[in-house]
Amino acid sequence: METQSREFKSNSVDALANEPLQTAMGKMKKGFTEKRRKAVAGLEEFEELRDQARDIKNHTLDHLDLYLEAYEAKVKENGGHVHWCANGEEARQTILKICRDLDAKTVTKGKSMITEEIELNDFLDKQGIEPVETDLGEYIIQLRGEKPSHIIAPAVHLNQDQVEEDFRRVHTHLPEDRNLIEPRSLVNEARQVLRQRYIDADVGITGANFLIAETGSSVIVTNEGNGDLTQTLPKAHIVVASLEKVVPTLEDASTILRVLARSATGQEFSSYTTFSTGPRRSDDPDGPGEYHVVLLDNGRSSMLGTEFQEMLRCIRCGACMNHCPVYHAVGGHAYGSTYVGPMGVVLTPALAGIEETGVLPNASTFCGRCEAVCPMRIPLPKMMRHWREKEFEKHLSPASSRYGIGFWAFFAKRPSLYRWFVRVNLAMLKLWGKGDNVRFFPFKDGWTKYRDLPVPEGKSFQQLWKERQKGDRN
Amino acid sequence: MSGSREAVLGKIKQSLSTDASDQERRKAVQARISDHARNLTPKRTADLDQARLIDLLETKMKAVDCTVQRLASMDEIPAAVADYLKGQNLPATIRQAPHSSLANLPWSKNAPMIEVSQGRSYGDDLNSLTACHAAVAETGTLMLESGAEGPTTLNFLPDNHIVVVRESQVTGTYEDGWDRLREKRGGTDMPRALNMITGPSRTGDIEQTIFLGAHGPRSLHVLIVKD
């Protein structure tokens, strides 16, 4: 997996100065959090369901080989095919072969992060097969030649006027003087343009929210209905899914579904949750003639049995990024990776290697909101810390931070010197800030450019602690 | 084509650190798959009688932008459909699922102006009428089964989808719906597609404002009929 994550710092500086982006992010940070809060308040068992959802995935991961074998057997029994792929290249070649065998010219696509991970669209394009994204957000960013900036709301970084501009640029067969002021008319235009593409497509590709070992079904969860049109109408349906999507039974999927939509969009249930099992049956009036599952590893099996195994519980709801102050400030593109926000900064180094993604695990204030809202109770901050340790051990962190830590360690190992240094610095900060706020600090203008540092009020923590201990004894 | 099957499975086995024997692990997996044990289910439907379940279903469906109408018998369906189409200013046509429960509706007697045809959709039908497998009160969710009597295309291609729910089909939880499906079809046999539908199609992809009718039906009208 390729990333541009090394540019996170400079991307962030650009993002903070990008006015349309800041307008869009201002709207998103309120909407998602408020909707989730209401949905969670409406289900008294929500916290217990989170525990159970976590336990289901833990049990499945501990028996992953066996559940995948059981799942595969059921898919075959229902007339489907399972293609095991170790990496992105193998998955792309497998998909290409299925398309070539059907002489496919166009492929419709339901929203799928895993096909972003293996950069399928670029690849198909180069092979002369046209990929058509059908989710409204994905369609918009495909027109713009961009990547998704959010795992469930790919165009969340854009404003309505930008979408209007793109539609006018691309839909040149429509009258120039048409009215696109209302967002409603943009939704209608996309519906109209894409309708024929569904019907004409040779192959439909979707991801999967779950694979069910009990029945051999793949499950997609959507609101628009585009995923269903994508997988129902063409000659073949290809499901691209990673190993950890499997769950044992329909009951287990139901439990996780109860926390998924509530955490993601704040809905009790998404409009469409579809369980697909094999190709069209002999007496079926519709449905795809072929059903293929591309089962992708791409680094996940190496996460099992490590401190990052828990990340494989992730169900891609997006709650962590919806509640992340860093994501709110810079948006998804700054991360330079397929997966963004807190789940992205943990998963990306695992898939692409910490050498490629260096600074990414530092894109956090450790405020802990991501872990607090994660429906699968993934300890995201703890895992970011693990990555930071690895980054330090491998001498990947920037020289300034390494020297900084060395400088701090020198004093920390000498307590009396440390206390003296802190006292002197407190006094100097007060003088420098004129008793109010520090607005500029030499060599630290990256910090003070965006915010003021309040001058310390009185004593250091150590002094206060000492006094308190004394007070307790008296 | 099995591709990297053995390599991937081998890697998984090697990475998993487990003290349990192979036999114990297999037993655990087999038991879990065949037991269909329920996890926690929400209390909101636990103590409701059938009448209250149906009330909750209606409330939940309306909360997700469905329209709901109660009918005393299947014979009332044609007139109700005609009224609905007229009220919405829609053309008097309907594409009906070839479902046995809908086979003897008195169209010509009670709604002669409606042009009724049967079968799957190819994309040029405005209105569809289908049956369902179950309706889950918990969240106002319909479960629709594909097959000879249930073309999936009728659930997604038409602009307006009308679904018939018989009162006895109303269940409390998704798990109730799965049990009924297993009972009906025998064991773990699934239809090719099982659609859980909760309200009409919608999108929030432009500035998080919700609009109905993104790609699927713009409206979902539910007829709850006494058995």
Q: Is residue B91 part of a domain?
A: yes
Pull the structure tokens for residue A455. 């001058």
Residue B12, chain A, CB below 8 Å: the answer is yes
In contact, A460 and A422? CB cutoff 8 Å:
yes
8 Å CB contact of A268 and B198:
yes
pLDDT of amino acid A435: 65
Domains and CATH numbers, chain A: 1-30+320-397 (no CATH), 43-296 (3.40.50.10420), 416-473 (no CATH)
Q: Residue A251 pLDDT more than 90?
A: yes
Higher per-residue confidence, B49 vs A458: B49
**% of residues, chain A, pLDDT over 70:** 99
Q: Is residue B26 part of a domain?
A: no
CATH of the domain at B79: 3.40.50.10420
> A443-451 contacts: CB < 8 A, separation 24 or more?
A450/A16
8 Å CB contact of B195 and A272:
yes
In contact, A133 and A142? CB cutoff 8 Å:
yes
DSSP B129-182: EE--SEEETTTTEEEEE-BTTB-THHHHSSSEEEEEEEGGGEESSHHHHHHHHH
pLDDT of amino acid B186: 85
Q: Residue B2 pLDDT more than 60?
A: no
β-bridge pairing A272-276 and A217-222: antiparallel
Q: Is residue B111 part of a domain?
A: yes
Q: Is residue B48 part of a domain?
A: yes
Query: Using CB atoms and an 8 Å cut-off, which of residues 396-455 of chain A contact chain B?
Result: none
Residue B118, chain A, CB below 8 Å: the answer is no
B190 vs A59, A159, A277: nearest CB: A277
Distance from A363 to chain B by nearest Cα, in Å? Answer: 25
Residue A362, chain B, CB below 8 Å: the answer is no
CA distance B97 to B79: 17
Please tell me whether the overall predicted TM-score, pTM, comes out greater than 0.90 for this model: yes
pLDDT by residue (tens digit) across B23-58? 999 999 999 999 999 999 999 999 999 999 999 999
Chain B residues with CB under 8 Å of A303 CB are 15
| Enclosing H/E stretch for A220 | strand A217-222
ipTM: 0.97
Q: Is residue B186 part of a domain?
A: yes
Q: Is residue B35 part of a domain?
A: no
A64 vs B12, B98, B188: nearest CB: B12
Domain count, chain B: 1
Q: Is residue B123 part of a domain?
A: yes
pLDDT band at B1 (very low <50, low <70, confident <90, very high): very low
Report the pLDDT averaged over residues A149-167. 95
Q: Is residue B115 part of a domain?
A: yes
The residue segments making up the domain with residue B201 are 43-225
Q: What is the DSSP letter of A367?
A: -
β-bridge pairing B93-96 and B115-118: parallel
pLDDT of amino acid A457: 76
